[in-house]
Structure 1
């Protein structure tokens, strides 16, 4: 009797179940991730390019000036080109600022000023003032010549300004009177429009000769009345602003020293003086300039 084995043994080893192996599948869609990243970068690039093409010019200029000032340099000059992002490049130029390197302004070359002395500056001022007074004299002279009155007035430039002398025998005033003649009125009415257009103060100065007056207490009153009559005509008829004019009488204290003129007739006169407003140092040079022009 043979030894028994367990049922179903038959002397064979039990079979092992075959181990299950799950193989990892290969991801064939990995390219999509890289493609998405590339597309994201491209979209960002085009957004940046578009925003650059829509630059706010005012804000850009403010930023440029601010950065230039912060670095201690003037902002470079630019010639405006196209407003597009990539077009019009040939019309857009940037001029570098070389001031910090060479000391030369790019927009304008600064020429050094020539230093002049105080005496030269004073002489230039006096020469310019003389030219201005000469122009006033020429205007009045031309107006009088047009009326046939050119020989009734004498002009001279002194350290006070332009003197318009109404001296012509009995043409303006009769002896011992302050009554203006018809010729005097015409001269004043012709001269007034030129004086009205000036900014200068005007002094109307009456004079008398040495003969005592029989109508006035002294020649002071006579000369003052003559100046006042001229002033009233210039203001009331000629339109000369009252705030720019004054009348004064000198009596016989300031006679004209002219050997070719009768002193009794020459000092029966009124002078209209356009007072110069430049410095005294320059005004004292006016007579010498006048002499030089007279030859």
Structure 2
């Protein structure tokens, strides 16, 4: 009796394994459907012809093969002599057959590139003119504020490759001798400049400059520390008057960027200055056109 039961269980177990084996066709079926889907996607993509890309390919093949004629058919058409046949005529791609035709093609290409360069140059010139117009509006706002403070003589304006440069001559009414502390007149000048800059989005650079005379007293060991400290003082004042700190930075240049040579009598007073620069956000090639657009010669910094 027990022997029959064991055989029945073994038979039953074998039957279950065979039933699972019969379901393995589902895996093969799924793989086949995936392959068919990929095939249909590829066929669909091949049926979509981008005429611009096809013309580019045509030109590239023409340049590659040179004078010999190359027969090339777009997708969906038959190549001449192909067993598939077709109503569409093949495209004949060939390079210029003569030297004159090649030279003419090169001439037209050069003319097209020159026209493109002229268009870019014209666009840059117009952008530079618009930037100078904006700088002129800022300048007039600052001048109006300075006139109310009777301080217009202490500030000069110019446009260079960086942008609008507002030069504050650091005479005894702005900073004391060998000092980086703004005097009352200096504070009034910076306070007059700040509102016009606050309404703009351009970044502001404040540069400190000294004359060639060495520092022989005070807390600063050299003109480098003195020029940087004065620029930082102006930056702090601008920030207290509403300019975001992220838009402003300070730099000191000592006597390394003079407006006048040491032999010029004006160098002692006019090279001692702080420059508040409204930086242009245009590209480098357009910024190089700013001085010409403003009607001043270009100067390098």
Change (3 A) 1:135 1:277: same
Residue 257 of structure 1 pairs with residue 267 of structure 2: no
Residue 144 of structure 1 pairs with residue 146 of structure 2: yes
- Point out where structure 1 has 5 or more consecutive residues left out of the alignment: 1-114
TM-score normalised by structure 2 residue count: 0.56
- Distance in 1 of aligned mates of 2:236 and 2:158: 24
TM-score normalised by structure 1 residue count: 0.57
Q: Residue in 1 aligned with 2:225?
A: 221
- Point out where structure 2 has 5 or more consecutive residues left out of the alignment: 1-115
Q: Among residues 210, 232, 238, which one is paired with 1:234 in the alignment? A: 238
Q: Among residues 238, 243, 246, which one is paired with 2:246 in the alignment? A: 243
Kindly indicate whether the alpha-carbon contact (under 8 Å) linking 1:153 and 1:168 is maintained by their aligned counterparts in 2: no
Q: Among residues 197, 200, 218, which one is paired with 1:198 in the alignment? A: 200
Q: Residue in 2 aligned with 1:71?
A: none
Q: Residue in 2 aligned with 1:122?
A: 124
Change (3 A) 1:222 1:168: closer
Change (3 A) 1:203 1:146: same
Q: Among residues 212, 217, 232, which one is paired with 2:214 in the alignment? A: 212
Kindly indicate whether the alpha-carbon contact (under 8 Å) linking 1:201 and 1:275 is maintained by their aligned counterparts in 2: yes
Q: Which protein has the bigger helix share?
A: 2
Q: Among residues 264, 280, 284, which one is paired with 2:284 in the alignment? A: 280
Bigger Rg, which one:
1
Kindly indicate whether the alpha-carbon contact (under 8 Å) linking 2:125 and 2:293 is maintained by their aligned counterparts in 1: no
How far the C-alpha of 1:212 sits from its partner, in A, is 1.2
Q: SS at 1:117's partner residue?
A: helix
- Distance in 1 of aligned mates of 2:248 and 2:242: 11
How far the C-alpha of 1:260 sits from its partner, in A, is 7.9
Q: SS at 1:247's partner residue?
A: strand
How far the C-alpha of 1:292 sits from its partner, in A, is 5.9
Kindly indicate whether the alpha-carbon contact (under 8 Å) linking 1:170 and 1:265 is maintained by their aligned counterparts in 2: no
Kindly indicate whether the alpha-carbon contact (under 8 Å) linking 1:175 and 1:268 is maintained by their aligned counterparts in 2: no
Q: Residue in 1 aligned with 2:187?
A: 185
How far the C-alpha of 1:275 sits from its partner, in A, is 0.2
Kindly indicate whether the alpha-carbon contact (under 8 Å) linking 1:173 and 1:268 is maintained by their aligned counterparts in 2: no
| Cα displacement string for residues 32-89 of structure 1 (whole angstroms, at most 9, x for unaligned residues) | xxxxxxxxxxxxxxxxxxxxxxxxxxxxxxxxxxxxxxxxxxxxxxxxxxxxxxxxxx
| Cα displacement string for residues 174-230 of structure 1 (whole angstroms, at most 9, x for unaligned residues) | 221112111110011111111111100000111111111133121110001101111
How far the C-alpha of 1:289 sits from its partner, in A, is 2.1
Change (3 A) 1:261 1:143: farther
Change (3 A) 1:248 1:168: closer
Q: SS at 1:271's partner residue?
A: strand
How far the C-alpha of 1:282 sits from its partner, in A, is 1.0
Aligned-residue CA RMSD in angstroms?
2.2
- Distance in 2 of aligned mates of 1:189 and 1:255: 26
Kindly indicate whether the alpha-carbon contact (under 8 Å) linking 1:172 and 1:269 is maintained by their aligned counterparts in 2: no
